[in-house]
Amino acid sequence: MKKIVECVPNFSEGRNPETIEAIAQAIRETPDCRLLDVDPGASTNRTVYTFVGSPEAVVEGALAAARVARKRIDMRSHKGEHPRFGAMDVCPFIPVVGVTMEECVAIAKDFGRRAAEELQVPFFLYEEAAGHDYRRKLPDVRAGEYEGLAARLDDPRWSPDFGPAEFVPSWGATATGARKFLIAYNVNILGTSNQAHRIALNLREAGRGEDEPGRLKDVKGMGWYVDEYNLAQVTVNLNDYTVTPIHVLYEEVKKDAADLNVGVAGSEIVGVVPLEAILMAAEYYIEKENLFILDEDQKVRLAVERLGLNSVAPFHPEEKIVDYIVAEPPDEPLASLPVRGFIEEVASRSSAPGGGSVSALLAALGTGLGSMVGKLTFGVRKFEDLDAKMREIIPPLHTLSKELIPMIDADTNAFTEYMEGLRMPRDTEEQRADRSTKMQTGLKTAIRVPLKTMQLGDEAWEAMCEVARYGNPASKSDVQVGARALETGIWGAYQNVLINMGGIRDEAFKKEILAEAEGMMDRAKKKCAEVLAILDERG
DSSP for 427-467, written as a single string:
SSHHHHHHHHHHHHHHHHHHHHHHHHHHHHHHTTHHHHHHH
CB atoms within 10 A of CB 39: 21
Beta-strand relationship, 33-41 and 88-97: unpaired
Which of 37, 39, 82, 256 is catalytic? The answer is 82
- Nearest-CA neighbor of 173 among 181, 182, 165? 165
- Nearest-CA neighbor of 417 among 307, 489, 484, 500? 500
Q: How far is CA 176 from CA 83, 124, 167, in A?
A: 16, 6, 18
Distance CA 398, CA 32 (A): 37
Distance CA 197, CA 438 (A): 64
Which of 256, 411, 458, 478 is catalytic? The answer is 411
* Beta carbons of 462 and 328 less than 8 angstroms apart: no
* Terminal-residue alpha carbon distance, the chain: 53
Active site residue 385: no
3-state DSSP helix/strand/coil percent for the chain, to nearest 5?
A: 55, 15, 30
Active site residue 411: yes
DSSP assignment, residue 415? T
* Beta carbons of 460 and 366 less than 8 angstroms apart: yes
Q: Helix, strand, or coil here: 14? A: coil
Residues recognised as catalytic = 82, 411
